Amino acid sequence: MEDSMLSRWDASEYLDNPELIAEYLNAAMEENDQDVLLTALANIARAKGMSELAAATGLGRASLYKTLTPGAKPRFETVNKIINGLGIHLHASSV
């Protein structure tokens, strides 16, 4: 099979409702891996629209892509802006 016949699976194409987005983000956070969390946030951002997120957060699109790249070390303030810009509310619970 030729590579041109294969397409990459893109999670952002399937994140089309708030409940699914919440489940997806919860699963990513359970991994306890910053790169998994950043990838999940990037997929959610692409699903909702990177331009809209840039407008909501006051961050540039290029900055958002850089911030949400695995291996990045974003400040909590930036991640918090992104989470709020995506309309996500985090909740804590004891383990």
**Interval 24-30 mean pLDDT:** 96
**H helix intervals, the chain:** 18-30, 34-48, 50-57, 61-67, 76-85
Residue 23 maps to a domain:
yes
Residue 52 maps to a domain:
yes
Specify the pTM: 0.88
Residue 34 maps to a domain:
yes
71 within 8 A of 35, measured Cβ to Cβ: yes
**Interval 10-23 mean pLDDT:** 94
57-77, pLDDT tens digit by residue?
Answer: 999 999 999 999 999 999 999
Domains contained in the chain, number: 1
Q: Which domain holds residue 52?
A: 16-85
Mean pLDDT of all residues in the chain?
A: 93
